[in-house]
Structure 1
Amino acid sequence: MSFRRTSADLLAPLRPALSRGARMRPGFLVVGTKRGGSTSAYHWISQHPKVAPCLTRKGTHYFDVNHGRGFAWYASGFEKPRPEWTITGEASPYYMFHPLAPERIARELPEARLIVVLRDPVTRAWSHYQYELARGDESLPFDVALAREAERLDGEEERMRRDQGYESFAHRHHSYLHRGHYAEQLEHLYDLFPTGQVLVLQSEAMFADPNGQLARVWDFLDLPQVRLDGLQPMKAGSYEAMPEGTAHLLADYFAPHNDKLYTMPGIDFRWEEAS
């Protein structure tokens, strides 16, 4: 018999931590994207000596699937202030894509600085599929999963908006194409936050030159510049290459979405120019 720990199991340590006394209020959130490097970005940011770590190591999923637990529960996931810390934060790659999370963040943490890590949507979709396949959350061949995505996601966002306690498995786990509609997701963020509160990093550039991209993060978070040693990718997957024909089809599919993205504030890269 296999056993998978649920999000409730993983967050159980927070229950006795419901705080007496003030805790640090998150000043930054890594909001996406799934399989784009958000875990690595958060892990590296948390190594800055001025950054207080989240008590759940990465994040609480409060603004997406745990919002019903309430803000007091969320606050319990962060450290009490210490002189050496100036900021704390967390990460969830679902925050940017979840239809309700950006409004919740804007309402409850309006001054938070948002960090977005975007990966070429073609390779992101394949990585996302392989991740779900390995976890047992996907059983369809990739081409079939892509063909059925619209059917799987049909009506799910509307139901999530109507019933804010509803968790859509398909929306979270089977959105291989829609997660790559980055321009739409950034537009949503820019409707709610000033563009100066959002930093977009290119995943490929971040992994090629971690400290170079982290230097931008330190400036963005008003932190002193530091250079970190031994930075390694987190949750790196190992799987076979995507079939070439499928890759070409996806490149054509994402081309208009990417073209729109390239015109938006904060975007200073193009994937076809990545080395």
Structure 2
Amino acid sequence: MISARTLPAPVQRFGQDVAVTFGRITAQARMTPGFLICGAQRCGTTSMYRTLSQHPGVLKAVLHKGIHYFDNHYDRGFGWYKAHFPLELSARRVAQQVGYRPLTFESSPYYMFHPLAAERINADLPGVKLVVLLRDPVERAYSAHAHELARGYETEPFERAIELEESRLEGMAERLSTDPAYQSHSHQHHGYVSRGQYVDHLVRLESIVGRDRLHVVDSGDFFTDPEPAFAGVLEFLGLPAASGIRFERHNARPRSPLPAELRDRLDAHFQPYDEKLAAWWGRTPSWRR
């Protein structure tokens, strides 16, 4: 059997375009997501996505893990967005099997960082719940750099990229906020330090959607002892426990050790942010214990 991933890229894109076109025609008959994984990038979002996808009461997005509607493709309209989700007919079939209405979802980690995404989510999906994963921000920054380097979105070594970040991102958030059609490559791909200042993004999310619609997972705890962390996510989503869930780590990239001096410098930068995060969260994050 031929996997879609083994087909040439143009063939894959053509198939996706056909599927989205059909999806738009049937948008009114499709599910609306009940929750989103909105970040943070390189914090275990793929692992959480694949874990949740195993739950019998969860139906994942049809085409992509991350649709990026509320950040990069908002101009395409809500019908285009709904085209990516399962049909209500599928939901009814699953409901007959499990005894309750299933949820559908997607995972776009840029939502947490994009200055307009939260407001758009709140306007278009009132009541939707948001799941956020956090990890050691130093490791997150280093992992993000390796990720962007591998994808060809970064050309500078890590330390130089950190030095360039302020100039690369200068004015980008403001322009994205005032020009909804604008997209910034650097804002999406070069925010190594900025994205790890978690408390700033969480406070902004809370101010827009409310604390009760926001659930934060410590990725260190999730990977070390996944069952209680996952149980907390299910409780937040109103889903029952399920048997046979496999906890696996995905998307990890091998990389050389981070130089101690640079690690210490970044750790010192993040310390006041982590202290504010602990106060907001009501718990000490795993990387500061």
Hey, what's the Cα distance between the residues in 1 that align with 2:229 and 2:235? 10
Secondary structure, counterpart of 1:79 in structure 2: coil
Hey, what's the Cα distance between the residues in 1 that align with 2:44 and 2:15? 21
Hey, what does 2:59 align to over in structure 1? Answer: 52
Contact 1:211 1:228 in 2 (8 A): no
Residue 219 of structure 1 pairs with residue 235 of structure 2: yes
Is 154-163 or 102-111 further displaced after alignment?
154-163
Q: Can you list the C-alpha shifts for 1:183-208, whole angstroms capped at 9, x where unaligned? A: 11001111012211111000111111
Secondary structure, counterpart of 1:165 in structure 2: coil
Is 261-270 or 182-191 further displaced after alignment?
261-270
Q: 1:61 aligns with which of 64, 68, 93?
A: 68
1:9, distance to aligned residue in structure 2 (A):
7.2
Hey, what does 1:200 align to over in structure 2? Answer: 216
Aligned residue type for 1:78: F
1:272, distance to aligned residue in structure 2 (A):
2.1
1:269, distance to aligned residue in structure 2 (A):
3.1
Judged with a 3 Å threshold, the aligned counterparts in structure 2 of structure 1 residues 228 and 209 are, in CA distance, closer, same or farther, namely farther
Alignment of 1:50-89 (within 5 A): 50-81=57-88, 82-83=91-92, 84-85=94-95, 86-89=102-105
Contact 2:197 2:273 in 1 (8 A): yes
Secondary structure, counterpart of 1:61 in structure 2: coil
Contact 1:59 1:90 in 2 (8 A): yes
1:212, distance to aligned residue in structure 2 (A):
2.1
Contact 1:200 1:267 in 2 (8 A): no
1:59, distance to aligned residue in structure 2 (A):
2.5
Hey, what does 1:209 align to over in structure 2? Answer: 225
Contact 1:38 1:91 in 2 (8 A): yes
Hey, what's the Cα distance between the residues in 1 that align with 2:284 and 2:86? 35
Contact 1:195 1:266 in 2 (8 A): no
Secondary structure, counterpart of 1:48 in structure 2: coil
Residue 112 of structure 1 pairs with residue 128 of structure 2: yes
1:33, distance to aligned residue in structure 2 (A):
0.5
Hey, what's the Cα distance between the residues in 2 that align with 1:167 and 1:16? 27
Q: Normalised by the size of structure 2, how large is the TM-score?
A: 0.88
Judged with a 3 Å threshold, the aligned counterparts in structure 2 of structure 1 residues 225 and 157 are, in CA distance, closer, same or farther, namely same
1:19, distance to aligned residue in structure 2 (A):
3.6
Give the aligned length.
270
Hey, what does 1:160 align to over in structure 2? Answer: 176
Contact 1:262 1:270 in 2 (8 A): no
Hey, what does 2:114 align to over in structure 1? Answer: 98
1:10, distance to aligned residue in structure 2 (A):
8.9
Q: Normalised by the size of structure 1, how large is the TM-score?
A: 0.92
Contact 1:211 1:227 in 2 (8 A): no
Q: 1:177 aligns with which of 160, 176, 193?
A: 193
Contact 1:40 1:233 in 2 (8 A): yes
Hey, what's the Cα distance between the residues in 1 that align with 2:112 and 2:40? 7
Hey, what's the Cα distance between the residues in 2 that align with 1:165 and 1:137? 21
Hey, what does 2:274 align to over in structure 1? Answer: 258
Contact 1:32 1:92 in 2 (8 A): yes
Contact 1:115 1:201 in 2 (8 A): yes
Hey, what's the Cα distance between the residues in 1 that align with 2:202 and 2:105? 20
Hey, what does 1:32 align to over in structure 2? Answer: 39
